[in-house]
Amino acid sequence: MPQTEKEKNAVVITGTSTGIGHATALLLDRSGYRVFAGVRSKQDRDKLCGEGSERLCPLILDITNQAQIDAAAALVSEQLGPPQGLGGLINNAGICEPGPLEFMALDRLRRQIEVNLIGQVAVIQAFMPLIRKGRGRIINVGSATGRFALPMLGAYVASKCGLEGLSDALRRELRGWRIPVSVIEPGTVETAMWDKTPDSPEGLPHGRIEDKEHIYDELTQAVRELMQQGRRVAVEPEVLAQVIKKALEARRPKARYRRGPGSHMALIGSRLPELLTDWVIEKILRKQLPTKWMGW
């Protein structure tokens, strides 16, 4: 049965308090979509309500909290009514836990995977009945690092690599129902993570490092300098919001959309011989340091 215009206009977006998710929620709201926007606090909910139209409905949604996920899915279903489903589910929520894998606390590693991978699956499972009903589509926001790993970001890279593979498997599983699954692979984007405090677990490039021996100090500094340089050419979240809108509206959506500095270079780098990419990364990082020795 063909989807009605009303059904096409209902979307759920996670992680809309700041950054890409926030920009996407407002863009789709202005474009006439009925947006259900996941936020983690009442303060963010109130702020989003003040910025959007009456169509924009913020949801308190921590994607690691199954009770909140189930409540959000029930609320969306109630708001849409029995005949209507979702035109799209945009999984954008995520965090970054930086640091050397040798010393990373396992609770931080688990938290990284729980939010960026398991939480995505939990949301997909909860909203799939509405996606099926609305003949909608799924859009997962990944990262260029999901294809090209950088040191000190191992936990984050693992979660985004996992999301890449998960999205491929899901796309093939849902192919028989003509439910598209796309991955957005941003490069460097200007988001609130740059403004996290030094002791914040999500703070990239300022996240806490559990290296009591300080043996990774120089490498840590090199990566931080590289990330700060990337910020100078970072695109605004609104640019990625436009890409997500394109994936949402495309008659034949692509499996992957890349945008932002470094996104296409990451793809190229992932296809080069490993020894060559390791050498290039080392050369780039050494340039960020006043000394030539990094402990490698």
The tally of domains found in the chain comes to 1
pLDDT score, position 192: 63
Give the Cα separation of 239 and 23 in Å (integer).
9
What is the rounded average pLDDT of the residues 260-275? 74
Radius of gyration from C-alpha coordinates of the chain: 20
DSSP three-state, residue 55? coil
Residue 82 half-sphere exposure, CB side, CA atoms within 13 Å? 0
Best CA proximity match to 17, nearest among 191, 145, 184, 182? 191
The predicted-structure confidence for 105-144, as pLDDT tens digits, reads as follows 999 999 999 999 999 999 999 999 999 999 999 999 999 8
What is the rounded average pLDDT of the residues 83-106? 95
Q: Are 130 and 85 in contact, with CB atoms under 8 Å apart?
A: yes
CA angle at residue 16 from 13 to 22, to 5 degrees? 110
Q: What percentage of the chain carries pLDDT values higher than 70?
A: 86
Of 98-102, 124-128, 193-197, 278-282, where does mean pLDDT reach its minimum?
A: 193-197
Does residue 12 carry a pLDDT above 50?
yes
Sorted by sequence, the CB contacts under 8 Å of residue 87 that are 6+ apart come out as 3, 7, 8, 9, 10, 11, 33, 134, 136, 137, 248
Residue 203 — very low, low, confident or very high, per pLDDT cuts 50/70/90? very low
Task: Indicate whether 217 belongs to any domain.
Answer: yes
Of 152-156, 165-169, 198-202, where does mean pLDDT reach its minimum?
A: 198-202
Task: Indicate whether 296 belongs to any domain.
Answer: no
pLDDT score, position 280: 82
pTM of the model: 0.89
Give the largest CA-CA distance in the chain.
66
Task: Indicate whether 65 belongs to any domain.
Answer: yes
| CATH number for the domain harbouring residue 106 | 3.40.50.720
Would residue 214 be called left, alpha or beta, if left means φ above 0 and alpha means ψ between -120 and 50 degrees?
left
- 190 vs 109 pLDDT, higher one: 109
What is the rounded average pLDDT of the residues 155-176? 97
**What one-character DSSP code corresponds to residue 235?**
B
Task: Indicate whether 70 belongs to any domain.
Answer: yes
**Residue 33 bears catalytic tag:** no
Sorted by sequence, the CB contacts under 8 Å of residue 236 that are 6+ apart come out as 23, 189, 190
Q: Are 90 and 11 in contact, with CB atoms under 8 Å apart?
A: yes
pLDDT score, position 204: 40
What is the rounded average pLDDT of the residues 187-192? 74
Task: Indicate whether 2 belongs to any domain.
Answer: no
Of the ranges 3-17, 32-46, 138-152, the best mean pLDDT one: 32-46
Of 18-22, 47-51, 85-89, 147-151, where does mean pLDDT reach its minimum?
A: 147-151
pLDDT score, position 259: 86
* Residue that is written with structure tokens 């990566």 in the block: 223
Best CA proximity match to 22, nearest among 221, 244, 257, 227? 244
Does residue 17 carry a pLDDT above 90?
yes
Which structural domain range is residue 226 located in? 7-286
Sorted by sequence, the CB contacts under 8 Å of residue 103 that are 6+ apart come out as 209, 210, 211, 212, 216
Please provide the average confidence, as pLDDT, over all residues in the chain.
87
The predicted-structure confidence for 233-256, as pLDDT tens digits, reads as follows 778 999 999 999 999 999 999 999
**What one-character DSSP code corresponds to residue 282?**
H
Task: Indicate whether 295 belongs to any domain.
Answer: no
User: Which of 33, 156, 216, 257 is flagged as catalytic?
Assistant: 156
Instruction: Name the β-bridge partners of 138.
Output: 89, 181
Does residue 57 carry a pLDDT above 70?
yes
- Label the pairing between strands 57-60 and 181-186: unpaired
Task: Indicate whether 291 belongs to any domain.
Answer: no
Sheet architecture: strand order including 34-39 = 57-60, 34-39, 10-13, 88-91, 137-141, 181-186, 256-259
Task: Indicate whether 292 belongs to any domain.
Answer: no
* Residue that is written with structure tokens 């914040």 in the block: 200
pLDDT score, position 23: 97
